[in-house]
Chain A
């Protein structure tokens, strides 16, 4: 991302964002609510359109051309705060839908792939159920599996644990840690600072649509450079 700007009407949602993510890098983005962190990652797969600057994923620039957007979305998976599983389909069908309709994969192959990733997130026994029958943690793991079925090169996480009951946060975090350990490139908007310390290569702090500070997790948490970062950390770390 280079010099990215985005406004909602007169309100600047993102101002002059510059961010380079290397293959295999794990980045955690934090910041107060309304600071633009969700908007930032939603721009990366074209759910939001930026107005200035350039965003490119693996050499493909998001220009507004639908073909470019399609190409980027094939490479980029996304996990949402509210899971956004398809409630009218079973967990398995949630996972096979995109491989079958976007990649034209045969049904049998798509099912095998889906079961492989449902094993990965440790809920293969839930495959035949509908999302409404699963716990929140299981739903979010199903959503992660659904994304992985497209074999993305980059995964975006938009506050994946914020809608979960506390006792279910850990199972989702563990799934994300195991993904990180396998070398997945990840951009995570989260307030799970334990996760940030454990796996992040860089922690980015955003406020008012700007990147205020970006650093290695130990430096970020132990010696924040900016006053706004210190204030934010003092509020969330008890």
Chain B
């Protein structure tokens, strides 16, 4: 067993940061800090302001540039070398952020008075929820290159990220739809009677209330999604679980599975537990204040 813990000590950096060049590893480490800062920022109600989406865009762009290199004299690091916790956080956070706008649009679409829009939204949601996520990952990884002209390539990480976001949008749509249905019809009527059209009434009156109602369910969905990103290991991406498996299969560290898995489980648990506690806190505070 002591040999087992030695592997954790020895390979800790690889498990946590993947095959990223060792002298550049401050960059993924800083990316982790950026992601955590983004979560903390989003958790504070004082920060629920119109600038928050802009902050998400800025921080996520910053994290990607940091990892990828290019500007500011940072050496280019190909995505094949990305791995470990930063990759997991990237897949989960960028995936969730990218899925959110189409998720809201699908939720509105599913409640639309226009039959064509409603049918398209329902079809998308049901297909994406009805097919296993792994299928989409395999399609993005193996089948997509067969359907595009030779010489045209899209980064494998980007394809996996897109597949995750497209599926997640369907789940988010259902969560947001439940929130939309919980907003009383009188709210839209009051907005209409004041002369607000459908668009402004939706953005200014209905959505803010629907999203507040949805927060506990949204957080729950995020926890599930955070863990679902581990499925990218099946297409050869080294997220936190992927790096752990890479260490375990190394014959030099035979028998190290238990401590390595415990380490990885502890990291996942820390993030999910923190998010879950936050969800309970926000639920209580929303109940205490009505939904202001």
Q: Which residues of A contact B (CB under 8 A)?
A: 45-47, 66, 70, 73-74, 76-78, 80, 82, 84-88, 97-98, 101-102, 130, 132, 143, 146-147, 150
Nearest chain-A residue to B193 (Cβ)? A78
Interface magnitude class on chain B: 20 to 34
Nearest 3 Cβ contacts at the A-B interface: A84-B190, A98-B194, A132-B290
Residue contact A87 to B196, C-beta cutoff 8 Å: no
Residue contact B192 to A73, C-beta cutoff 8 Å: yes
CA distance A97 to B200 in the complex (A): 10
CB-contacts of B245-292 with A (<8 A): 289-292
Residue contact B190 to A86, C-beta cutoff 8 Å: yes
CA distance A2 to B57 in the complex (A): 55
Residue contact B209 to A150, C-beta cutoff 8 Å: no
Residue contact A84 to B204, C-beta cutoff 8 Å: no
CA distance A76 to B193 in the complex (A): 8
Residue contact A88 to B289, C-beta cutoff 8 Å: no
Partner of A101, one of B184, B186, B187, B204: B204
With known contacts A87-B291, A88-B209, A88-B212, A73–B194 Cβ distance under 8 A: yes
Assess whether B208 is interfacial by the CB under 8 Å rule: yes
With known contacts A45-B193, A86-B205, A102-B195, A80–B186 Cβ distance under 8 A: yes
Residue contact B187 to A84, C-beta cutoff 8 Å: yes
Partner of A84, one of B189, B290, B292: B189
Would you list 22 pairs from A and B whose C-beta atoms are within 8 A, ordered by A residue? Answer: A73-B192, A73-B193, A76-B193, A78-B193, A80-B186, A80-B190, A82-B184, A84-B190, A87-B290, A87-B292, A88-B292, A98-B195, A98-B196, A101-B196, A102-B200, A130-B290, A130-B292, A132-B289, A132-B290, A132-B292, A146-B194, A150-B195
Q: How far is the CB of A180 from chain B (nearest CB, A)?
A: 20
> 8 other contacts beyond A82-B186, A86-B190, with CB at 8 A cut-off?
A45-B193, A47-B192, A84-B189, A87-B292, A88-B291, A101-B200, A130-B289, A147-B193
CA distance A158 to B255 in the complex (A): 75
Q: How far is the CB of A220 from chain B (nearest CB, A)?
A: 28
CA distance A147 to B200 in the complex (A): 17
CB-contacts of B167-188 with A (<8 A): 184, 186-187
Assess whether B197 is interfacial by the CB under 8 Å rule: yes
Contacts of B292 in A (CB 8 A): 87-88, 130, 132
Residue contact B195 to A80, C-beta cutoff 8 Å: no
CA distance A150 to B193 in the complex (A): 10
Nearest chain-A residue to B207 (Cβ)? A88
CA distance A147 to B291 in the complex (A): 22
CA distance A146 to B190 in the complex (A): 10
Contacts of A47 in B (CB 8 A): 189, 192-193
CA distance A88 to B192 in the complex (A): 17
Contacts of B200 in A (CB 8 A): 101-102
Nearest chain-B residue to A85 (Cβ)? B190
Partner of B208, one of A77, A85, A88, A132: A88
Contacts of B190 in A (CB 8 A): 78, 80, 84-86, 143
CA distance A27 to B197 in the complex (A): 28
With known contacts A130-B292, A132-B290, A86–B193 Cβ distance under 8 A: no
Contacts of B192 in A (CB 8 A): 45-47, 73
CA distance A77 to B193 in the complex (A): 7
Contacts of A132 in B (CB 8 A): 289-290, 292
Q: How far is the CB of B192 from chain A (nearest CB, A)?
A: 6
CA distance A20 to B149 in the complex (A): 70
Q: How far is the CB of B140 from chain A (nearest CB, A)?
A: 38
Nearest chain-A residue to B289 (Cβ)? A132
Q: How far is the CB of A113 from chain B (nearest CB, A)?
A: 13
Contacts of A66 in B (CB 8 A): 197
Residue contact A80 to B194, C-beta cutoff 8 Å: no
CA distance A121 to B157 in the complex (A): 60
CB-contacts of B197-213 with A (<8 A): 197, 200, 204-205, 208-209, 212
CA distance A73 to B193 in the complex (A): 6
CA distance A82 to B191 in the complex (A): 14
CA distance A70 to B289 in the complex (A): 34
Residue contact B193 to A97, C-beta cutoff 8 Å: no
CA distance A101 to B195 in the complex (A): 9
With known contacts A84-B189, A86-B187, A74–B212 Cβ distance under 8 A: no
Most-contacted residue by chain B among A74, A78, A84 (CB, 10 A): A84
CA distance A73 to B290 in the complex (A): 30
CA distance A97 to B190 in the complex (A): 12
Residue contact A80 to B189, C-beta cutoff 8 Å: yes
